[in-house]
Amino acid sequence: MDDASYRVSDAEREQAVAVLRDHLMAGRLTLDEFSERVEAALGARFGADLARVQQDLPPTPAPSRRAPTRFTAALFGHVVRRGRLRLRRRTLAASAFGDLDLDLREAAMDGPRATLTVLALCGNADIYVPAGVDVDVSGVTVLGHHRDWGRDAVAADAPAITVRVFGVLGTLDVWRVPHGMREGTFSDIIRHLEGRPPRTLR
């Protein structure tokens, strides 16, 4: 029987997810790519389905050479951090009298868990993560808020990001972005997750 046509077991699906996580830790997959491939792996029925999930990856993950992200800040202005960042186990972000957009959809991680501490002093911080990543949001805000938005269904082996916020007159919002929203602005993402209609051009 062709190896590609056999029905896969739950154990084989879980093994595929574990391999994908190793590639995420090595920096070969972004968080968005990882969560999308995990969704495909968990839904795989045949060997060919699992093969497609890993077809462009080497058999042994190589260590990441990407410089880690340690600190991001918006001070009296608007700062956007996005692209192929690498999250350390502990990362600090701050917004003081400014606006910070931190997009982690193309980020890689040093390990299966990372902690992002956000300081918001009379500022706003928006964190964007792909749906399917385990995100835990907590902390203390005085005369402000911290909220998280979007679908929270995650796989058992999903990477975990802990977001801790400490704010005074500040706000933090974590947005779980669906895989299909690779295009569009941050405003488009926010409007979609808040359930508001998209903007119309005049």
Model pLDDT for residues 97-141, shown as the tens digit of each residue = 999 999 999 998 888 899 999 999 999 999 999 988 889 999 999
In a 13 Å sphere around the CA of 100, the CA atoms on its Cβ side amount to: 28
pTM for this one?
Answer: 0.79
Q: What is the C-alpha separation between 107 and 28, in angstroms, rounded?
A: 10
The SS3 assignment for 126 reads: strand
What was the pLDDT predicted at 62? 57
In a 13 Å sphere around the CA of 97, the CA atoms on its Cβ side amount to: 2
- Contacts of residue 59, Cβ cutoff 8 Å, sequence gap at least 6: none
Structural contact between residues 101 and 129, judged by C-beta atoms closer than 8 angstroms:
no
* Alpha helices per DSSP H over the chain: 10-26, 31-42, 47-54, 186-193
What is the DSSP-derived secondary structure letter of residue 196?
P
Q: What is the C-alpha separation between 199 and 18, in angstroms, rounded?
A: 40
Enumerate the β-bridge partners of residue 46.
7
The SS3 assignment for 35 reads: helix
The SS3 assignment for 4 reads: helix
Instruction: Please report, in tens digits, the pLDDT of each residue of the chain (202 residues total).
Output: 345 678 888 888 888 888 888 888 888 888 999 888 988 888 888 888 888 998 888 876 555 555 667 788 999 999 999 988 888 889 999 999 999 999 999 998 888 899 999 999 999 999 999 988 889 999 999 999 999 898 766 666 778 899 999 999 999 999 999 877 777 788 888 888 888 766 544 4
What was the pLDDT predicted at 78? 94
Other Cβ atoms less than 10 A from the Cβ of 177: the count is 25
